[in-house]
A and B are shown apart, each in its own frame.
Chain A
């Protein structure tokens, strides 16, 4: 396979599979009933993702040898580098696990083939976003991702809460998208091109004010998706109301994709990198504080996890702020490592919470809300699920020997390598936030290990076997990376390197 066609295969496969899944799913649903259709759709979707992993593997060989893959067709430019590979690996891995998880979770829903088709399209959108090398293509993929995620958030069309969450998400996200467009047309007007590498070449310091405004628009536009405070208000609603698999995707990869898009556009304006760095450091601190404080007093499990995602975006923003402001490579390395770990940990947390939601409510046809009280004493009946959820929560809280600790450490190292007082104080602030976050993770873990089970647990159903697989895989990943963090260097270091190259011209 040619390297350039590989990029196309990588992006096209999920969409083609989405189409096939929808078609076959519809036909089967008509002929043999929803049950079979749902199951076949799930396995087809998983197969599609596995197939798209193959071109990624091939491309990866090239990118690892420090080359980039470029594909140009008219104004559309695809470009595969370290960051694209990172995003692609995370989205395919998490996507595959989510599909396996959903096979049972969505088994009794009407129209699950639509769910898988949309999920695949969303994954395709994220893959495309990671590989885009011109501003407009980036926006188009960003919108593909956004539009599919609106429909997925509002998938339970007869649930007022999910409709509400979906609508709010749509409006905020669409408003943000307009800001992105404003940024793009300003840059386009100024440079006469949308090719990001050429723009990077054109824009040497000092940047004219109008381009700073464009950068501000990008920050706001992609910031809505990346849930930067104060643009975060859609996140707790959408992430808590979506089907659990989608919550895992949203928190695990969609907001991170927003972040990657933000990096792409701000890095071409690397001429003002210190300014972006300062903004990122500030927003990072805000995100950490607000996310953790909001999560502290939540009573619903998924909402709590959603707020914690806001906090974790703060850590990533902090690491990226360090590389933008000070040019410390570990900042990006740590941020990308944390991106991966957060995808795994938050994915695991949402999936495990989803398992509990399924066995306590959905298996009985009840679309209830999983509250903290429901989890009391869950370990007695669901030892493995509870164990994996505990690992996820403690990892999110930054306790070793779990992956979350190591990536936070790398970010903190970067903060101190600046030898700058403010940055070092911000690291201390971030560490304090980690301690604060234990104030809600730890009680949740304790709750699940009580001896006296809640009413919901006593009447809970059994855990389906296929749901356990993703939980175990993710748990193993989190633990292994906690013990051996440099195992992921092949993924994070090229990404950090390419970002550094862009920022420093």
Chain B
């Protein structure tokens, strides 16, 4: 039972990371980009829980996961506020509009 839970979590971690990365590659909306980052981070957080489960230090793993959640939320907040500012100054949330800086 434990084994299957571990492997299930493992699949979930890989799945979340893959979905997050794929989303970052294809989405064009700034808000969705931030959501994709969140999915990626959730994959990592789940990874910590998994790691704690494997080496038997679940307590430590949980506190690490909590820290990651906090940091991650801060990043999301800043990302969203930048998105709001961009919407405010450029009137769009489309990634492809953000190509004034290139070459």
- CB–CB under 8 A between A and B in the complex? yes
Provide the bound-state CA to CA distance between A166 and B67, in Å.
24
The answer on a CB contact under 8 Å between A167 and B98 is yes
Interface residues on A, range: 35 or more
The answer on a CB contact under 8 Å between A143 and B101 is no
Provide the bound-state CA to CA distance between A505 and B34, in Å.
41
Provide the bound-state CA to CA distance between A186 and B37, in Å.
20
Count how many chain B residues have C-beta atoms less than 8 Å from C-beta atoms of the other chain: 41
* Chain A residue, CB-CB nearest to B75: A174
Provide the bound-state CA to CA distance between A136 and B60, in Å.
11
The answer on a CB contact under 8 Å between B51 and A185 is yes
Provide the bound-state CA to CA distance between A446 and B33, in Å.
44
The yes or no answer to A45 lying at the interface (CB within 8 A) is no
Find chain A residues with CB under 8 A from B74 CB.
147
> Per-residue 0/1 for A148-185: is the Cβ within 8 Å of any B Cβ (1 yes, 0 no)?
00110010011011011111101100110110011011
The yes or no answer to A237 lying at the interface (CB within 8 A) is yes
The answer on a CB contact under 8 Å between B44 and A136 is no
The answer on a CB contact under 8 Å between A147 and B75 is yes
The answer on a CB contact under 8 Å between A175 and B85 is no
The answer on a CB contact under 8 Å between A164 and B79 is no
Q: Tell me the minimal C-beta distance from A422 to chain B in angstroms.
A: 33
The answer on a CB contact under 8 Å between A175 and B100 is no
The answer on a CB contact under 8 Å between A160 and B100 is yes
Pick the contact of B37: A175, A191, A241 (CB < 8 A).
A175
Provide the bound-state CA to CA distance between A140 and B69, in Å.
12
The yes or no answer to A19 lying at the interface (CB within 8 A) is no
Provide the bound-state CA to CA distance between A191 and B44, in Å.
18
Q: Tell me the minimal C-beta distance from A158 to chain B in angstroms.
A: 6
The yes or no answer to A188 lying at the interface (CB within 8 A) is yes
> Per-residue 0/1 for A202-243: is the Cβ within 8 Å of any B Cβ (1 yes, 0 no)?
000000000000000000000000000000000011001100
Check A75/B60 contact, CB under 8 A, given A175-B40, A178-B40: yes
Within 8 A of A (CB), among B31-52: 33-34, 37, 40-41, 43-45, 47-48, 50-52
Q: Tell me the minimal C-beta distance from B91 to chain A in angstroms.
A: 10
**Secondary structure dominating the interface of A:** helix
Pick the contact of B85: A150, A163, A241 (CB < 8 A).
A163
Q: Tell me the minimal C-beta distance from A312 to chain B in angstroms.
A: 20
Check A181/B82 contact, CB under 8 A, given A164-B98, A171-B37, A192-B55: no
The answer on a CB contact under 8 Å between B44 and A166 is no
The answer on a CB contact under 8 Å between A170 and B78 is yes
The answer on a CB contact under 8 Å between B44 and A178 is yes
Provide the bound-state CA to CA distance between A192 and B47, in Å.
14
Find chain A residues with CB under 8 A from B20 CB.
178
The yes or no answer to A189 lying at the interface (CB within 8 A) is yes
Find chain B residues with CB under 8 A from A168 CB.
98, 101
Check A167/B47 contact, CB under 8 A, given A147-B75, A161-B100, A237-B101: no
The answer on a CB contact under 8 Å between B37 and A182 is no
5 further A-B contacts with Cβ under 8 Å, apart from A151-B78, A161-B101, A178-B37, are: A136-B67, A150-B78, A166-B82, A177-B75, A186-B47
A-B pairs, top 3 by smallest CB distance, nearest first, are A189-B51, A181-B44, A192-B55
